[in-house]
Amino acid sequence: MDMRFTRRAVNAALGASIAMPWVARAAFAQNPILLGVPTAQTAPVGTADHLDHLRGTQLAMEEINSSGGILGRELKLFTPDVNPIIPESIKQAFAACVDAKVNAISCAFVFIPIVAMDTTAKYKCPYLNGTAQREQTEKIKENPEKYSHVFQVDASDLDYGWTYPLMLEEQEKSGLWTPKNRKIHIVQEQSGYARSITRGIVDQVKKRGNFEIAQITDIQIPVQDWNPVVHELRQVDAGAIFINHWVAAELAAFTKQFVANPVKNSLVHLHYGPSQPEYLTLVGEAGNGFIWDSTIGHLQDERGLAFEKKYRERFPGPFPGAVYPGHGYDVAYLLKRAWEAAGDPENFAATAAAIRQNPTRGVCGTINVNNPWQEALHYPANGFDDELAAPSAEEGIPLLHIQIQDLEHKIVYPKEVASAQLQLPPWWS
């Protein structure tokens, strides 16, 4: 990614204005509500997702302001640069939000969530994120007073693992996929995040008994050469393959090496990374047939497609991502409703209470964080953390499994929100 392009996009968001006479606008902007949006602008990872999140937030901000703002006040953005994998950078970015006296913080994710939580713990403005780590929400549950202001508006890493075998079972049950064997081969990077996902898969497979873990192959990142991995995949020859690694460029390298010498008739899942626009830019048609997943993303229903249309018009060019544009958009509107319910954006406790007490349907589903983890209820139920499972797809945030079909991202699971049926990949006979 061109970092200068990312900086320009951030500057464009900061400079966004609404159409109204100068005098009226001056009065409108006199006492703005300030939303902090820590955004990766120069970091080696995360810039694509963070830019998506910022643009979704910007779109919501422009709509809100053009409709009169919030409680008669303009919504403005404050966007400090952050490296989401460096603790000191996270601390500095969130401290900058506190120093700027923002009314709330919306962030795509950081990989060391406790740093962000602790940096904002005394200030206590609402902090909403899509970090997707159970480590974060367990800390909230353990210390609800200290972290009463922190909300995770998607499911956690473990849920990727728990949901994966459910997706496989559903595709087999539908008759669209007949596995050549019951084996699952997991390739995992060496991070706590990836190990949590693997643990979820292993636990769910043991519980349900419909598949078996044939092999877990560890990789060290960055991966320079995937050929040894592809060779091991061919030796194990599992019916289902899960590549537990999320960096788009490296998954693109895997894709090219895999399709050149594929494991025939295996269903291949690439964790999350293909959601980033860089992936399809690098692989083109070689990406067709691969499946990826996300704990949040705009749905491909009437509401979600209307949002996508508005987003494409506002930010011309290839749609940049299927995950964080909707996430940023939904969080901004969730905060708008909470501020209006509280009646005072400076009353952080009342705003946090309004967030908890008022589930909000957005383009990604229904955000309901009224639980001890302050983590969005998700769908489908998986039998492990039923307290966090929504009773239906409409009442929670669906954890999406998406297949690339004709260079388009199509939801294939859960079936309640699917926009297409599973297609057999090109490497199937």
pLDDT of residue 25: 56
Same fold for the domain at 3-156+300-386 and the one at 158-294+399-417? yes
Q: Give the C-alpha distances (Å, rounded to integers) separating 137 from 8, 251, 355, 372, 373.
A: 34, 28, 16, 8, 5
Q: Do the Cβ atoms of 310 and 282 come closer than 8 Å?
A: no
How far, in Å, CA of 189 to CA of 411, rounded? 25
Instruction: Print burial letters for 82-119: b (CB count within 10 Å at least 16), e (below 16).
Output: bbbbbeebbbbbbebbbeeebbbbbbbbbbbbbbbbeb
Can you tell me the mean pLDDT for 299-316?
Answer: 94
Rg (CA), the chain: 21
Can you tell me the mean pLDDT for 55-60?
Answer: 97
How are beta strands 212-219 and 183-189 bridged, if at all? parallel
Comparing C-alpha atoms, which of 92, 61, 81 is closest to residue 3? 81
pLDDT tens by residue, 227-282: 999 999 999 999 999 999 998 999 999 999 999 999 999 999 999 999 988 899 99
HSE-up (13 A, CA, CB side) for residue 232: 16
Domain 158-294+399-417 has CATH 3.40.50.2300: yes
pLDDT of residue 20: 47
Give the residue extent of every domain in the chain: 3-156+300-386, 158-294+399-417
Reported as type and span, the H/E element at residue 360 is: strand 360-362
pLDDT of residue 429: 78
pLDDT of residue 382: 62
pLDDT tens by residue, 348-403: 999 999 999 999 999 999 999 999 999 999 999 765 667 898 999 999 999 999 99
DSSP state of 402: E
pLDDT of residue 14: 56
CATH number for the segment(s) 3-156+300-386: 3.40.50.2300
